[in-house]
Structures are given as C-alpha cells and as structure tokens.
Chains A and B, each alone.
Chain A
C-alpha cells in the first residue's frame, strides 16, 4: 500500500532540527524527500550523540533521527553547474523546504523568483528564525533562545532559581511539526489550484502563537492583570505533585480530584472516609495537604511506579510515572503497539528508534530507510532528474556535486 503522500517530491534544503523534522514527516507519509546537502553536509551531522562516542558525520544520532526516509544529494550551490542541476530537480518537485538565513537562496541565484518562474505550482516553504521580514531578520535562534524568548520558559521552574528550558531540541521539534502542517497546506494549494507561493515561517512565530501554555499566559495576563510566575509543580493541592516511590517518581495532578476514585485507589483508608475531605476547599488547604501527604508518601514508597500507575488506571485517577528512555524502550505498552522501528545503516549499524507520529488506516506511515549517508544518492537523484551519465560525472569531477565516499555509495 502506498503512503498518503505517494508521488509527492520534496526538495529539502533545510538544516539542523526544525526543517529536517518537517521533511521527515513528509517522508514517513510516503513522499520522496530529496535532501539537498552542501558539500560539508547538514551541520547537524556534527553534533551528538555519536554511535561509538566519537564525532563522525555518518554517526550522529541527531542527524539520523531527523533525516530518516530521505535521499541525500550533495550540490555546491555556489557553483553555477550545481544551480542548473538544482533547477532540474525543481522540475520534478512539488514543494521546496529551506532554512537558510533570509536572503541566502536569493544570493545563490535560486531564490523564490527563480523557483516560481521555473515551476509556478511549486511552493517554497522558508523556515527562518524570525522569518523573511522582521526587525530581527538577521538574528539567530537556538533551542534555548527560541524557547526562552518565544515559548513559555519564564514560568518554568522555581522562583529561587533561573527559568528552566525543555529538554534538548524540544522547541525546535515543535516548530518542525508546525512547519510540516503549513507545508502540507501549501502542497494542497499547489496540487488543487496550481498555485505556488513563498510561505514565510518564523520559528519565533510558531512558538509565540503555538500551544505550550504561552497562549494561556498571554491572554490570562491581559484578562486579569496577573502574571504566571515560576512555582513548583507540587504542594499546592491534595494529591498534586511529584512523589517519591519505591523505584523513582510518580506524578499526580488534577484540576479537580474525584475523591471517590482516590479513596478506591488507596483501598478506602478509614481516615479518608471523613466527609470533610469532600469539601472542595480542603483540596487547597495546606494543613490538609500535609495531613494527606503524611499518609500518602509512605504509601508511595512501598510501591513501584508501575504498581501505583496500575492502581491509578484501574480507578481512573490522573497519574503518570516518571519514566526514563531506558524504561520506554523496554515498555510493554509501546512494544505492544510496535512503536519502535529497527533500521540498518552501513556506519551506524542496527539501531532501533521511536516510530511514527500517527497510524493511518488506509495509507501506511513508515520509516522506509535510515538517514542517508552524505551524498549517498547523488548519482541516482541527478540521473533521475534527467541528467545524462556524462553530465553527472562532469558535475562530480568539477566539485559541483559529490557522491558518498566509501561503502554504501551509489
């Protein structure tokens, strides 16, 4: 069965995290995603974690994860012959993704005007830190500065310490997912109306107006004049927070505890049968919280996170154990759902990674191949675009294009 995006060709010039993740989502849904890399490769090939622990451009876990399912062609767009080859690729493309600093594509001579003139129904989706048109147009963003300025980092953490970011590249990955939706809409317009356009996305905008609580803090402040401050996630209500248990931590939090369910989960201890606990105000009373915790904390310490969560699920109480990724790889639920995909890569070896974002009933969602080696598909892609064998070899000989080195090269 073909994927939902069968027959779609994406030229993905994007680098690092956000753009590549958007491109990966297209590949997972069945599109042919051609990753156009500069001769030194996507810079994310230079960051870890590395298989074997030593930096190697084919062994970056970051590059690997965000580029599965793609084919890699190396073009040095600073050379005219490479630009001509790139325009031949445009002829077969439905959508182009890029994340260069604003103006770079134009300066290379393959900007929007050139692409549009070449194939009017193709959309160019540009994903720049602050967009193509902003007072901060030339400024840079990293995951920390992006989330700090544009996401809701200010209120994350505790008052006595600095604001705390999300893990790793989480904010950039969010932006990649958001950009994929925008790119899919652009593809829709291209396919249904033959209308290409230059979609101008800013990482900043996708965080400022996204969904990670920032939307709520923005409007809550205007409504009430109050601010959303850093406050610990626990201790403010009965059964609200992270609790130590026998083998780690569990989280319990709810806007409105169903006390009947909590009683059942805890085996109906006599003290909790007291009707005074049913008063909603008691949920927020510090003395009551202390009284509850004095009994509940030892209860947790006697049980594992999985035992506690099983009880919570049985009694429909909101709860979540704090898992490590080690536990997630081994977890029965995600195994049961075949969440992981095993891939073989000539340099990385056999590796198992988290799988799809969705399951689609009629059109499979799959990771069809590991991330490409740099230039692994240079010959195949250029030949597929109609260049003759002699033309391709001339491009390679001149340095305008490059195939992969060593084993696995096509």
Chain B
C-alpha cells in the first residue's frame, strides 16, 4: 500500500454540471479526496451526463464522435453512464442519487453536509438557491464548510443570470475573435471550449488554499469563481496589447503573437484527408535565430533560405513566402519522422495528432497516461485518462472507473447517512435511490 494521496480524508460534495466544476472535482478526486456526485433520477441536468438522457440512435449518425460517439454507436441501456462528452471526468468519483427537490431529500442531505469538507457547484445562478443550497444555508449545517460556486459570469453583475456553455463564454471573453483564421469568418472557429481547464484547475487550487486556511484557523469560506474571469488569462497578451496600445491585437492564426517566424502548421504525407481524419500536419515554430539555422540545415540549406533571412525581422516580413517553401518541403514527409528529426536538431516541432493516434505515441505510453477501465453493462475495457500529475512519494492512481449514476447509493445512504437497510430500501422503493433516470425523461 502506497502512502496516502495528498487529499485523502477530505470529503467533497459535487453538485456540478457540464465541465468546469466537474473538472475541479476530478482534480480533487485524483488527489485522493472522496468526491460524491449528488444526482437526481427525476431531473436530467443540461449537458452533464449527455445532451439527452436517451438520445435517439439517429442523432448519433453524422455527428462528431466527441459528442455522440456512444459505445458501438448505440445509445445502450443507460446512455448517461457512457456519454463520451463527459465520462472521462467521472473517474475516481462516487455517485448517489437523492431527490434534492423534496423535503425528504433535503433531510437526507443534511448528514452528508455535516460530514463534508467541501461543496462544489457550478449551476446557473438561482439553481442552488432554489434547492436551499446557497452558502449561508450550507454553512448553517456545517459551519466550517468550504463552498465553491462557479457560475459562468459570477454571482453578481448584469450578466449573472446568463445561460452559458463553454462556446458562449469564449465568445464573451474575447477568445473567439482572437483565435480565428485571419482570412476567415469567426464562425469557422467557434467550437473550442478552453475555459473549463482554467475554471477547474483554479477552482481546485482555491479549494486547497481554503483548506489550508481552515487547518490554521478553523474557518471555512465561500469561494466564488466566475468562469468568464477565470478564463481571462488565456488572452492575457491581448489585454496587455489593449492596455499599452489602446487597440486589440489583430488575429494571427497559427503564427506567433511575439512575431517569431517561421511559425505555422504545414502539410505532411497523409493517408487520407480531412473528411476521414487522415490528413496529417506538422507544427514548426522557430523562436530564435539558432533554431532557424538548425531548420535551414535540416532542409538542406536550400538557395531560397539565404543570408537575407538570418534575422527574425527579415523572416517575419517574408513569412508568407517562407511558409510556402517549408510547406513544399514537408508535404511528402511523414509527420512523426519529421518531428523527431527537427526536435533532435533543436527545432520545436510536433505532429498535429488526431485523437485516435494519441494512444500509440511513445510518450503517452511511457508516461502511462491511460489505463484500461471497464464500464457498466459489460462495456470495455477502454483506455481512460489517468491523473496527469506525478507525485512520487504519494502516487496518484485511477482506482475507480468513471462512476455510473447512483453507483454508490448503498454506501452513501447506509454508511454515511446512517440509514438502516430497511430505511434505505424504502428510499429505493420510493424511486429516489435508483440507477436510471425516470422513463419519461427523453
């Protein structure tokens, strides 16, 4: 048995939706906290265990795999347990189903809150209040609780009530207009969801900082994270550009915001095309004159790469021309071969990996970034992400596969809440402690 993980002994209640809060609790679970998802078989929350509880098979065809790529392209008997959009973030967690809208459910939650150190939620503002789970109410039950609330735009201000998913947040926070192809409409790049990584990581950081404060003073606290604010550092240099120059920067696409050149994505020898996921590309980024000389040598010092391009300023002025020459050179090469060759010469380069290629990568295998996990209903094993942090003295692990709806009902109701077997059975019989969403939920 290895040493306890950093957060062993900490219990977290998780009333999160979509990704932002869910990623925060995933990090805490990876670090050894006991994270209990609070779910309700009578309510299907938006974009949390799927777009719908029971997606029709027709919805799966033609759509992208990250959204509707259910196992074997079938909804299966319990689609909410294996929606690809969300299931990775349920590792190392527990799930209990409890009807928090009912008086009985609220009464059952009370002893859970009494035994919890942390409560995390990121619902639209108003949801927690309606459930009687605002900070003051939770603190009345557990005075030193640490509560993280992480709505899209915060608990105050004119936008507090706005409904939002990652794509909307990125539009509002400036990212969508900044990251686009310089010569294309922003509608072509509206589908990146980058803010959740920021909200989840910084939420977990703040919770651990608050736990430290509690260890020293006995005092809990409320943490408010507005996802729109937590995402701002991703466009920090654009803010600084605005602050210094009084205008926003122009979008540069894959080129360097610092003006390094060449710096772009180039085609490689491809077994297929973009329609079948077989197109291959390499990113090459020259960030110094030394790296330029190394790249030039690897290209065989072609006549066009003459001394007039020795300085970055000259390369920057002629980057269209240089990019065309480099693309002509990379076009017939294997992306991985070129990656190794350029890196060994000291040039930052990398293949643009389509997701199915990740598992064959030597780094991914050597670092054991994934492990086989089996899902309920006989599905799997599939390779799921492991915790990405390496703590040699307190090793992290993927020891609980992505949790199914209500999987830990018996544990939570009997061991934590303290119900007798008969009392627990009554909750089961009443339909609250189940493992399936109500049959009339589409």
Contacts of A216 in B (CB 8 A): 66-67, 84-86, 88
CA distance A284 to B58 in the complex (A): 11
Q: Tell me which residues from 42 to 96 in chain A have a Cβ below 8 Å from any Cβ of chain B.
A: 47-53, 61-62, 64-66
Which residues of A are found within 8 Å of B174, using beta-carbon distances? 323-325, 327-328
Contact A213 B66 (CB under 8 A): yes
Question: Which residues of B in the span 59-117 have a Cβ within 8 Å of any Cβ on A?
Answer: 59-60, 64-73, 82, 84-89
A156 to B175, CA, bound (A): 14
Q: Report A-chain residues with C-beta under 8 Å of the C-beta of B283.
A: 144-145, 148-149
**Set B184, B236, B277: member contacting A173, Cβ < 8 A:** B236
A168 near B236: Cβ-Cβ < 8 Å: yes
Q: Which residues of chain B come closer than 8 Å to A339, judged between CB atoms?
A: 229, 232
Q: Which A residues are in CB contact (< 8 Å) with B192?
A: 152, 156, 166, 212-213
Cβ of B40 to closest chain A Cβ, rounded Å: 18
A167 to B186, CA, bound (A): 13
Do residues A140 and B343 form an inter-chain contact, with CB atoms below 8 A? yes
What are the 9 closest A-B residue pairs judged by CB atoms, nearest first?
A: A61-B240, A233-B190, A320-B168, A220-B69, A224-B69, A220-B84, A255-B51, A242-B187, A227-B277
A65's contact among B186, B236, B249, B353, by CB below 8 Å, is which?
Answer: B236
Task: Say whether, besides A154-B354, A215-B88, A360-B221, A233 and B243 are in contact (CB < 8 Å).
Answer: no
Asked if A316 lies at the interface with its beta carbon under 8 angstroms from chain B, I say yes
Answer whether residue A262 sits at the interface, using C-beta atoms and an 8 A cutoff: no
Query: CB of B425 within 8 A of chain A?
Result: no
Q: Does B356 contact A (CB under 8 A)?
A: yes
Chain B residues near A135: list those with CB within 8 A: 362-363, 366
Docked CA distance A157–B254 (Å): 11
Neighbouring A residues of B135 by C-beta, 8 Å = 361
Q: For the complex formed, measure the closest distance between the CB of A204 and the CB atoms of chain B, giving whole angstroms.
A: 6
Number of chain B residues whose Cβ lies closer than 8 Å to a Cβ of chain A: 167
Within 8 A of A (CB), among B324-376: 343, 346-356, 358-359, 362-364, 366-367, 369
- Identify 23 residue pairs between A and B in the complex whose beta-carbon atoms are under 8 Å apart, listed by A's number: A51-B244, A53-B244, A64-B240, A163-B265, A166-B194, A167-B235, A168-B178, A169-B236, A174-B198, A188-B7, A209-B386, A220-B84, A222-B383, A224-B72, A227-B356, A229-B274, A281-B58, A313-B163, A322-B177, A334-B157, A359-B223, A360-B209, A361-B221
Q: Is the CB of A177 within 8 A of B70?
A: no
Given contacts A201-B388, A326-B248, 4 further A-B contacts (CB under 8 A): A195-B393, A222-B382, A223-B84, A336-B158
A122 at the interface (CB under 8 A from B): no
State how many angstroms separate the Cβ of A221 from the closest Cβ of chain B: 5
Residues of B within 8 A of A320 (CB): 164, 167-172
- The CA of A234 and the CA of B185, in the complex, are separated in Å by 11
Tell whether B181 is near chain A: CB-to-CB under 8 Å. yes
The answer to whether A313 and B210 touch across the interface, beta carbons within 8 angstroms, is no
* B2 contacts A by Cβ under 8 Å: no
The answer to whether B367 touches A205, judged by C-beta atoms less than 8 angstroms apart, is yes
Is A50 in contact with B167, judged by CB distance below 8 angstroms? no
Residues of A contacting B196 in the complex (Cβ-Cβ under 8 angstroms): 211-212
Contacting residues, chain A, for B119 (C-beta < 8 A): none
- Chain A positions within 8 Å of B84 at CB level: 216, 219-220, 223-224
Chain B CB within 10 Å — which of A47, A159, A313, A359 has the most? A359
A180 contact from B205, B210, B215, B355, Cβ within 8 A: B205
A298 to B200, CA, bound (A): 38
Q: How far is the CA of A155 from the CA of B357 in the complex (A)?
A: 13
Does B415 reach chain A (CB closer than 8 Å)?
Answer: no
Q: Per-residue CB proximity of A95-118 to B under 8 Å, as 1/0?
A: 000000000000000000000000
Q: Would you give the 0/1 interface string for A233-254, flagging 1 where the beta carbon is closer than 8 Å to chain B? A: 1110000011000000111011
Complex contact B343–A136 (CB within 8 A): yes
The verdict on A299 contacting chain B, using a C-beta distance below 8 Å, is: no
Q: Mark B146-164, 1 if CB is under 8 A from A, else 0.
A: 0000000110111101111
Chain B positions within 8 Å of A140 at CB level: 343, 346-348
Distance in angstroms between the alpha carbons of A327 and B66 in the assembled complex:
33
Inter-subunit contact B202/A177 (CB<8 Å): yes
A residues less than 8 Å from B201 (CB atoms):
174, 177-178, 180-181
Of A168, A228, A250, which is within 8 A of B234 by CB? Answer: A168
> Which of A180, A242, A284, A361 is within 8 Å of B186, CB to CB?
A242
Task: Compute how far the CA of A180 lies from the CA of B52 in the bound complex, rounded to whole angstroms.
Answer: 35
